[in-house]
Amino acid sequence: MIENPELLTGIVLHGAHGIYEVHTDSGIIRCTLRGKLKKAFARAQAATRSKGRPRASVNVYQLLREEREQSKRSKSEESGPTSPTRISVGDYVKLRRLDEQNGLIEEILPRQSELSRKDAGSTAEKIVPQTLLANLDQVVIVLAVAQPEPHFGFLDRYLAICEATRLQALICLNKADLPHASAIEEAAEQYRKLGYTLIFTSAHTGEGIEELRAHLKEHTTLFTGPSGVGKSSLVNALEPGMDIRTSEVSEATGKGRHTTTGSRLYPLSGGGWLADSAGIRALAAWNIPAEELAWCFVEFRPYLGECLYNDCTHINEEGCAILQAVEDGVVAESRHKSYVRMYMGEER
């Protein structure tokens, strides 16, 4: 043990096989979990899985639900914040140094936010969450204008998830130097009209790089999207010193190959943090209650509470204000189709 046994506070940059890289004011320290903490995590994780699904996070969607949400917030304040049941990239921790390079994690501090998806090991009976990044405040959703072609249904799902978790979402259409259909420009304008920031970028020509860099400053951001859209090349263009491995799109499938194997957090030279996540080929809005999904489509919000029936699902009911808005051309039919697919469980 070194002479100074005081606890340090740090942020988890990466973790694998029980070893965590933690950034502190004294540098990066290679840490393991203290034995008692490791056992507590194992018990908490087992308890979570035995219930079939994780405890839903508190989210505020509609003014009509404000009374119930206020009650939840009051109970949360009485009991105090809880620590996560599984350590993830982006978590803040308390650690004790063993020597100049190694330490023990003594405590995981409560999260302010997180973005999760269903783990590949989830079943119909047991949903296991996989946290992509903890304590983030912004998500950059990266699609390519071509090679592979953009899937706007995927984008709609991700935007809904960001709205549900109250995370700022920024849309990045990468590989802008490649020839692409005019329909992509039209779709881009549609999302801009919804209030989302959308940037066309190219790691090859440098288009949009400075604008994107300005949006990352002083934020903790997750870069995410399907494989092959150029996330790693884009990150390398933003921060050349990171030198993240890249690969080409498969000619056989037209889909990207995974080059990032898990989230890793990097400090940005201009201030802030950036995580480049593994490519995501499927994404389900597994933790958004069906009755709150409509709120997660921003253009639906003015019509909520205006339908003929209070329990309207906005799918095929008579007197639905949202369906009328679609018919009037105020709400895009493609966005409504994304909502219906999510509501019916095809992409939930």
Side-chain half-sphere CA neighbours of 160 within 13 A: 32
Q: Is 225 annotated as a binding residue?
A: yes
Q: Is 174 annotated as a binding residue?
A: yes
Q: Is 232 annotated as a binding residue?
A: yes
Strands 220-224 and 138-144: parallel
Q: Is 226 annotated as a binding residue?
A: yes
Strands 19-24 and 92-97: unpaired
The candidate with the shortest Cα–Cα distance to 164, out of 326, 311, 36, 291, is 291
Q: Is 230 annotated as a binding residue?
A: yes
Task: Output the six-digit token pair for 21.
Answer: 């890289």
Asked if 89 contacts 15 with a C-beta cutoff of 8 angstroms, the reply is yes
| CB environment 166-204: b (16+ within 10 A), e (fewer) | ebebbbbbbbbbeebeeebeebbebbeeeebebbbbbbe
Q: Is 231 annotated as a binding residue?
A: yes
Rounded-to-integer distance, Cα 118 and Cα 56, Å: 13
Q: Is 176 annotated as a binding residue?
A: yes
Rounded-to-integer distance, Cα 30 and Cα 103, Å: 6
Rounded-to-integer distance, Cα 73 and Cα 26, Å: 37
Compute CA distances 72 → 57, 316, 324, whole Å.
10, 33, 34
Q: Is 162 annotated as a binding residue?
A: no
Q: Is the sign of the CA dihedral 239, 245, 251, 252 positive or negative?
A: negative
Q: Is 110 annotated as a binding residue?
A: no
Q: Is 227 annotated as a binding residue?
A: yes
**Amino acid letter for position 256:** G
In degrees, rounded to 5, the angle at the alpha carbon of residue 338 between the alpha carbons of residues 248 and 342 is: 100
Rounded-to-integer distance, Cα 274 and Cα 220, Å: 6
Q: Is 320 annotated as a binding residue?
A: yes
Binding residues for Zn(2+): 307, 312, 314, 320
Binding residues: 174-177, 225-233, 307, 312, 314, 320
Binding residues for GTP: 174-177, 225-233
